[in-house]
Structure 1
Amino acid sequence: MTTESKKPPTVFISYSWTTTDHEQWVYELATRLMSDGVMVKLDKWDLKEGNDTLAFMESMVTSTEIDKVLIICERGYQAKADKRTGGVGTETELITPKIYGNVGQEKFIPVVSERDEEGKPFLPTFCSSRMYVDLSIEYEKGYERLLRTLHQAPMHRKPALGAVPSFLFEQEVSHYESSNLIKQLNSAIENNPKRVRGITSSFINTFLGELKQLEITSIDNPSLLDETVKEKIDESLPLRNVYINFINSLSESDEIDSDWIVELFESLYPLAHNQKNNSYYESQFDQFKFFITELFIYTCAILIKHNQYKVLSEVFNNEFHTKNFTNDNLKIRFEGYRFYIESLERLNERLGYRKFSYTGEILSQRADNSLISKEEFLNTDLLLHYISKILRPDERYFWFPTTYMYRSAYSHFKLLSKLKSKRHAEKIKCIFNADTIEELKLSISSYSVAQPIRVQNDYFNQAPHIASIIKPDEIATML
């Protein structure tokens, strides 16, 4: 219903002639309400000489044409109402039964215009337990509340009842506890930053606990294990998104540090290997290998998104102390979190999908998170390859960019393109282990591969050379 066609509310103002100043206060309130579309019944302009005052008051209180009765509560009104004296006393005798007889009534609204020396509102006994509108302190705020009440336009509207969330009845992995920690984290960041460290520690333990739901505990048909792995990867998506939201909140608020990231991935690594003294299939843990690789790419993408280059540099240069089934004192670099997922490539061949890399295919398909675009995800995977070859050129094992073939040849590589700006190059150079612009140019120049980076049988595509995106002599040539 539009404001033009809606019938204006009609209100009666019940008040005491305590002082001339108070009478003027009431008169100005009534006048303003009239100007704001409220039909006001007031003795000053509705009670004429010769009228029966008692009949007028009774009609105002009992009439069905009166939508609301505003009870102006101040020192004089409270005294007269409680002692039942004067016109206020008469109105009180008329109003009281209607209030006490209907607990849920909304017609009679106390409006506080004055408070006592202790700051308590002057509320008559008959309405002391009722919610009131306060015009004694923040007048404008209280007036808006009153106006919204009269026009039935509340500031906080009750939302429409929606449908029951379908995920409640879906057989998906539970992520309630880790999702709840995101809410706690966001609240702590805003209201109590000292709690952030404790929440981040709790998240690691909670997240690891929820990941146990992805374990493959029984294998009825080993020849179909690859399909089970794919199913577990599909089930992991909600947990992946929870993690992305958590680290995004940390990074965005500048509460992120490399120690937390290192601790998390040191704790994740053992999931990719058998930890029990029993027989097992190596592919039985491939869902975790995929998940960990994906999480590492997203971690770096989030850090880049929020310009956390120092933290990213520390992660790239850190030595991760973790373990697997045969070694409790395993030391790896970040390249160790890029796993080859044998079961997915076997599934690719067995079912005739004919993908150059089924792992890359799935990573690309899943790169649909609202915080990180697909292009950003694919670029980050490629960046990890460049960093790996630049920082550790002599290492046999490097980060292979599994998703390179899903990157458009015309894709914009924002981070590397920004190196043309001297201002941005100064910020970004640390991730290439460079202290100066000249060292940065040397680092980029040092990228070298003995042969094109491509997956087996992909004769038409190869990972782009870094020089095809940014040439060393282009670095820092702009402001």
Structure 2
Amino acid sequence: SPAEFDSLNIIFQELFIYTVALGLKNKNYEFVSEILNSKYFIKDPHQRNEEPSTFAFLYNYHKNLEDYLWKTYNKVTGFGDYVITNLSDQLSKNQIILGDTVCYAVSYLNNEDYHDRWFPSTYLYGDKHEAFDFFSRISSRKHFEKVKCIFDVDNKNDFRKKILDLKESSQDRIRYSHGVFNDVSFVHELINADTIALYR
């Protein structure tokens, strides 16, 4: 049964977040762009569809982990709590949260299919100001030119259109399965479309 592979799915998802977070920490933005914008060919004996997938195939809702940590410790997000409480000494909590949130933003900006979207399980554990300084600095032309490859855009007008198109199609807030009052900011709230590359 799929439950037998939960531990592997958890590890793969965690390692992917670490990979993105390390790339961002080291300002290796081309590398981050490559792993977030490439397609992945998955061998699945149960599927005939041979179309490549986005990185979001690594995201899973880990029901056993979520249910256990909710019922036992009242944790709103089991996977998020697991990642944050088992941090490597190579990365800070906010660096992990940024990596997870960048995965979320890129998946929503580039994909309309719900199955190709990433949920940022660690999001609610962060110091929003410190963790998301990366997004607010997109108002700087220098920073934007460095990171635009991550969002697969060539210029600020293309990026602005992507954000506004997503804003137009956004509906209900993205929420955690547990905790009614815990939700995730819309991408257009993380990145202000009107201030992209506005300042020197």
For 1:88-114, what per-residue CA distance to the aligned partner results, in whole angstroms no more than 9, with x for missing partners? xxxxxxxxxxxxxxxxxxxxxxxxxxx
1:356 corresponds to 2:76: yes
In structure 2, the residue corresponding to 1:400 is in which secondary structure?
coil
1:289 corresponds to 2:9: yes
Match of 1:345 among 51, 58, 66: 66
2-structure distance, mates of 1:330, 1:346: 33
**Percentage identity across paired residues of the two chains:** 27
Match of 1:436 among 147, 155, 164: 155
1:381 corresponds to 2:100: yes
In structure 1, the residue corresponding to 2:52 is in which secondary structure?
strand
For 1:356-415, what per-residue CA distance to the aligned partner results, in whole angstroms no more than 9, with x for missing partners? 121111112123x232211010121111111101011x2122101111221234444132
* Residue number in structure 2 paired with 1:299: 19
In structure 2, the residue corresponding to 1:384 is in which secondary structure?
helix
1:400 corresponds to 2:86: no
- Residues 452/331 of structure 1: CA separation in 2 closer, same or farther (3 Å cut): same
For 1:98-157, what per-residue CA distance to the aligned partner results, in whole angstroms no more than 9, with x for missing partners? xxxxxxxxxxxxxxxxxxxxxxxxxxxxxxxxxxxxxxxxxxxxxxxxxxxxxxxxxxxx
Match of 1:322 among 42, 46, 69: 42
Is 1:432–1:443's contact at 8 Å kept on the other side of the alignment?
no
For 1:405-424, what aligned pairs fall within 5 Å after superposition? 405-424=124-143
Paired residue total: 196
Q: Which runs of 5+ in 1 are unaligned?
A: 1-280
2-structure distance, mates of 1:308, 1:445: 27
Structure (1 or 2) with the larger CA radius of gyration: 1
- Residues 465/445 of structure 1: CA separation in 2 closer, same or farther (3 Å cut): same
2-structure distance, mates of 1:444, 1:395: 16
- Residues 325/353 of structure 1: CA separation in 2 closer, same or farther (3 Å cut): farther
Q: Higher relative CO (CA 8 A, sep ≥ 6), structure 1 or 2?
A: 2
Give me the TM-score of the superposition, normalised by structure 1: 0.39
Which contiguous aligned blocks of 4+ residues in structure 1 show a shift greater than 6 angstroms? none
For 1:158-199, what per-residue CA distance to the aligned partner results, in whole angstroms no more than 9, with x for missing partners? xxxxxxxxxxxxxxxxxxxxxxxxxxxxxxxxxxxxxxxxxx
In structure 1, the residue corresponding to 2:72 is in which secondary structure?
coil
Is 2:6–2:62's contact at 8 Å kept on the other side of the alignment?
yes
1:470 corresponds to 2:200: no
Is 2:77–2:178's contact at 8 Å kept on the other side of the alignment?
no
Is 1:303–1:309's contact at 8 Å kept on the other side of the alignment?
yes
Is 2:40–2:52's contact at 8 Å kept on the other side of the alignment?
yes
- Residues 390/363 of structure 1: CA separation in 2 closer, same or farther (3 Å cut): same
| Letter of the structure 1 residue corresponding to residue 113 of structure 2 | E
1:426 corresponds to 2:145: yes
1-structure distance, mates of 2:35, 2:178: 33
1-structure distance, mates of 2:15, 2:171: 29
| Letter of the structure 2 residue corresponding to residue 287 of structure 1 | S
Is 1:323–1:330's contact at 8 Å kept on the other side of the alignment?
no
Is 1:357–1:402's contact at 8 Å kept on the other side of the alignment?
yes
For 1:332-371, what per-residue CA distance to the aligned partner results, in whole angstroms no more than 9, with x for missing partners? 210101111122123235x53222121111112123x232
What's the CA shift for 1:330?
6.4
Is 2:97–2:131's contact at 8 Å kept on the other side of the alignment?
no
Is 2:124–2:182's contact at 8 Å kept on the other side of the alignment?
yes
Is 2:95–2:131's contact at 8 Å kept on the other side of the alignment?
no
2-structure distance, mates of 1:463, 1:332: 24
In structure 2, the residue corresponding to 1:355 is in which secondary structure?
coil
2-structure distance, mates of 1:310, 1:408: 26
For 1:243-282, what aligned pairs fall within 5 Å after superposition? 281-282=1-2
| Letter of the structure 1 residue corresponding to residue 190 of structure 2 | I
What do you get for the CA RMSD once the two structures are aligned? 2.0
In structure 1, the residue corresponding to 2:33 is in which secondary structure?
helix
Structure having the larger proportion of residues in helix: 2
Is 2:30–2:150's contact at 8 Å kept on the other side of the alignment?
yes
For 1:4-28, what per-residue CA distance to the aligned partner results, in whole angstroms no more than 9, with x for missing partners? xxxxxxxxxxxxxxxxxxxxxxxxx
1:336 corresponds to 2:51: no
2-structure distance, mates of 1:381, 1:302: 11
- Residues 418/458 of structure 1: CA separation in 2 closer, same or farther (3 Å cut): same
